[in-house]
């Protein structure tokens, strides 16, 4: 999902507190070399004697891990499962200790097995990974035997040079190496970015595709991120890059692979859709192919050449296994495995040795829960423990207390309790005249990455919010801005939540106390915002008046489809969003009087 990226995180990082981290050599900035073949063929060797005409290739896939090495806390760590009697059950899922076990178990008895991902493996990560520029996650993915991934928008949060370092290895250019005597090795799987080119040369930033081979079986993987990545990543993160149409790019490289004799092709696409049900086991082909899914991936799937045999998707954090007709009208598998490592998809691709192509009518696929009642993978436990020791001095520091769960990422409502807390924290911190004189604050929903969970995550005790937990909610360390906007611009910004690029997938801003209005979802486009109801502290918004508005630097740059917010003047740069959040927790909670979840009564929703 779209989310606040951030700039210059290195300069704002608090790692100085974790003393004794060695500093080593310069960044390996060279981009990856040409395509290299992969195929460790988990679980089997070449057969003997006569080879059967077809071979079943197991494709395991997942997407949007976002550095969630430990099981995600609270409702954000649940998967919805529809039971035989029609009721829906929430099942706790995720965590790389369990994901590793799930993938390794699934590979048993499948000599031809390849593992692929749909992007956003890193970025917007919890402290355990984010504090170390996501090196722990790349190390975990190497251990999971990931063969290939597409880039997602979050792979660009820290820019192309840092993405190249994640691919190629080398210690961080500012913070150096985190473990004495150990140099970061980089990803031993290729990152694919077929539709991302360098502005100066027009050449691809990373490899557009790779070919997996085993015993004469060849499968090509093309990886793309959504064309709209620059709209949801800070300008710094995508500087010097161009993002191209997903369909045109995939079709171009599918032709190239076809000319090279690679007839079996899978597209890894960091763009997705929304199924009609949030249950992972929902049949979105009922009553007809793809009837139960909507969103950008549907049109993309319909435009991609029939040369491509299956689509692994992501970005929307949804779970679906659907068929969508290709341009020739034949059904083709389109899958997504939720997020945070809570699900994996197991797809059977039947490979015909005579045609070197996939028998499309035989493709079968299903999502599976990464349950937490299976054994943990010991190597992943060791990895988590190692990095947790380094993070502990910072991560375990208490910031405040809460009386119950305060849901953010886990809330499906337009107005989220945690969104209200964050917006109020931003308003309170920036309201003083010398801090910007803010009268109202806006927070983008995609920037809220987790829930605040009452149950203890470690030894801190129930109700305690640690620095690590606060960081997991707001991991971007965005600087706050206070700007002048007219009442007319404010109204336009609220309308942009549900119109223009946000019409198909509304992005409802979280608003500070005092701002109220009605959202009528029975209407369409900008009309969904009932303008006559918009009030600040009980008074109608005056189109001609100037208001001081607080928001993070991403929104203040017009990010997430809010060009009106990018028109602000008289800008004052304040503290970071995380600093204001922590200051608010400290000011409004004690062990004896913890912060309660706020009411969600600012936006009246008509459905």
Task: Report which DSSP code applies to 72.
Answer: P
Distance CA 121, CA 585 (A): 30
How many residues would you count in the chain? 607
Scored b (16 or more CB within 10 A) or e, 429-442 reads: bbbeeebbebbbbb
Residue closest to 596 by CA, chosen among 471, 410, 473, 463: 463
pLDDT computed for residue 339 by the predictor:
98
Q: Is 14 helix (H, G, I), strand (E, B) or coil?
A: coil
Q: Is 26 helix (H, G, I), strand (E, B) or coil?
A: coil
Q: Which two tokens stand for residue 305?
A: 């050449």
Distance CA 93, CA 99 (A): 9
Distance CA 26, CA 6 (A): 22
Neighbours of 354 (CB within 10 A): 7
Q: Which residues pair with 440 in a beta bridge?
A: 549
Distance CA 484, CA 546 (A): 6
Task: Report which DSSP code applies to 521.
Answer: T
Cα-Cα-Cα-Cα torsion 370, 373, 379, 382, nearest 10 degrees, comes to 120
Neighbours of 494 (CB within 10 A): 27
Distance CA 287, CA 279 (A): 17
Q: Which two tokens stand for residue 512?
A: 């500070």
pLDDT computed for residue 49 by the predictor:
57
Phi/psi for 281 (5° steps) reads: -100, 20
Q: Which two tokens stand for residue 428?
A: 């309170």
432-456 tens-digit pLDDT: 999 999 999 999 999 999 999 999 9
User: Are 231 and 213 a contacting pair, CB within 8 Å?
Assistant: no
Q: Token match 């840092």: residue?
A: 162
The sign of the torsion formed by the CA atoms of 12, 17, 18, 23 equals: positive
The H or E element containing residue 282 is none
Q: Which two tokens stand for residue 238?
A: 């995508």
pLDDT computed for residue 51 by the predictor:
80
Distance CA 313, CA 61 (A): 9
Q: Token match 């001095």: residue?
A: 393
pLDDT computed for residue 148 by the predictor:
98
Is the pTM higher than 0.95? The answer reads no
DSSP states along 111-145: SSEEEEE-S-SSSS--HHHHTTTTHHHHHHHHHTT
85-98 tens-digit pLDDT: 999 999 999 999 99
Q: Which residues are CB-contacts of 9 (< 8 A; sequence separation ≥ 6)?
A: 133, 157, 158, 476, 477
Neighbours of 409 (CB within 10 A): 26
Distance CA 73, CA 88 (A): 20
Scored b (16 or more CB within 10 A) or e, 199-231 reads: eeeeebbbbbbbbbbbeebbbbbbbbbbbbbbb
User: Are 193 and 151 a contacting pair, CB within 8 Å?
Assistant: yes
**CA distances (Å), 109 to each of 36, 261, 393, in order?**
26, 28, 44
Sheet with 539-540, strands from edge to edge, namely: 539-540, 529-536, 515-520, 603-606
Rg of the chain over CA atoms, in angstroms? 24
Task: Report which DSSP code applies to 144.
Answer: T
Q: Which two tokens stand for residue 117?
A: 């991902």
Q: Which segments of 199-261 are extended strands (E)?
A: 209-214, 217-225, 241-243
pLDDT beneath 70: ranges in the chain? 1-49
Distance CA 320, CA 497 (A): 26
Q: Which two tokens stand for residue 165?
A: 């370092």
User: Are 263 and 284 a contacting pair, CB within 8 Å?
Assistant: no
User: Are 363 and 310 a contacting pair, CB within 8 Å?
Assistant: yes
Q: Which two tokens stand for residue 270?
A: 């960091």
Q: Count CA within 13 A, CB hemisphere, residue 264.
A: 26
Q: Is 220 helix (H, G, I), strand (E, B) or coil?
A: strand
Distance CA 562, CA 78 (A): 31
pLDDT computed for residue 21 by the predictor:
34
The H or E element containing residue 275 is strand 274-275
∠ CA(326), CA(332), CA(336), 5° rounding?
120
Distance CA 179, CA 20 (A): 9
């Amino acid at each position: 999902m779209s989310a606040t990226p951030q700039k210059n995180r290195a300069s704002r990082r608090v790692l100085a507190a974790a003393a004794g981290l060695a500093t080593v050599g310069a960044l390996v900035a060279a981009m990856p070399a040409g395509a290299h073949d992969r195929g460790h063929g988990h679980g089997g060797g070449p057969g003997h004697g006569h080879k059967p005409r077809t071979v079943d290739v197991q494709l395991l896939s997942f997407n949007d891990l976002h550095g969630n090495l430990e099981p995600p806390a609270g409702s954000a760590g649940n998967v919805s499962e529809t039971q035989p009697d029609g009721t829906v059950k929430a099942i706790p899922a995720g965590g790389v200790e369990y994901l590793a076990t799930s993938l390794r178990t699934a590979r048993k008895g499948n000599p031809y097995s390849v593992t692929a991902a749909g992007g956003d493996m890193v970025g917007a990560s919890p402290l355990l990974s984010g504090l170390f520029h996501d090196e722990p996650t790349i190390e975990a993915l190497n251990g999971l035997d990931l063969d290939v991934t597409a880039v997602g928008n979050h792979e660009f949060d820290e820019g192309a040079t840092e993405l190249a370092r994640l691919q190629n290895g080398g210690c961080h250019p500012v913070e150096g190496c985190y473990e004495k005597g150990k140099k970061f090795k980089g990803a031993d799987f290729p990152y694919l970015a077929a539709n991302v080119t360098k502005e100066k040369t027009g050449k691809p930033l990373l490899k557009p595709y790779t070919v997996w081979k085993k015993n004469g079986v060849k499968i090509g993987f093309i990886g793309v991120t959504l064309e709209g990545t620059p709209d949801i990543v800070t300008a710094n993160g995508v500087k010097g890059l161009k993002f191209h149409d997903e369909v045109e790019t995939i079709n171009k490289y599918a032709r190239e692979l076809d000319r090279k004799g690679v007839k079996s092709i899978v597209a890894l696409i960091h763009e997705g859709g929304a199924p009609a049900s949030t249950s992972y086991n929902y049949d979105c082909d009922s009553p007809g192919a793809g009837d139960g899914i909507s969103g950008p991936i549907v049109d993309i799937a319909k435009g991609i050449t029939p040369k491509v045999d299956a689509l692994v998707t992501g970005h929307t954090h949804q779970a679906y296994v659907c068929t969508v007709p290709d341009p020739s009208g034949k059904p083709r598998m389109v899958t997504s495995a939720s997020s945070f490592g809570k699900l994996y998809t197991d797809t059977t691709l039947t490979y015909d040795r005579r045609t070197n192509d996939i028998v499309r009518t035989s493709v079968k696929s299903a999502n599976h829960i990464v349950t937490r009642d299976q054994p943990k993978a010991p190597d992943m436990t060791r990895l988590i423990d190692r990095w947790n020791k380094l993070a502990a001095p910072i991560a375990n520091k208490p910031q405040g207390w809460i009386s119950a769960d305060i849901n953010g990422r886990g809330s499906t409502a337009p107005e989220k309790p945690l969104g209200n807390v964050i917006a109020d924290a931003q308003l309170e911190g920036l309201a003083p005249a010398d801090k910007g004189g803010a009268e109202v604050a806006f927070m983008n929903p995609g920037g809220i990455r987790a829930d605040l969970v009452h149950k203890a995550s470690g030894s801190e005790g129930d109700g305690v919010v640690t620095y690590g937990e606060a960081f997991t909610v707001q991991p971007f360390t965005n600087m706050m801005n206070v700007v002048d906007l007219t009442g007319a611009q404010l109204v336009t910004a609220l309308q942009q939540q549900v119109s223009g690029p946000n019409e198909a997938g509304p992005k409802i801003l979280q608003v500070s106390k005092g701002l109220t209005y009605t959202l009528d979802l029975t209407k369409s486009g900008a009309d969904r915002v009932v303008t006559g109801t918009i009030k600040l502290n009980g008074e109608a918004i005056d189109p001609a008046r100037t208001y001081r508005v607080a928001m993070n630097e991403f929104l203040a740059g017009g990010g997430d489809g809010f060009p009106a917010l990018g028109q602000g003047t008289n800008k004052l740069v304040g503290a970071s969003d995380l600093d204001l959040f922590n200051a608010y927790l400290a000011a409004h909670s004690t062990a004896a009087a913890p912060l309660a979840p706020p009411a969600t009564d600012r936006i009246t929703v008509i459905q």
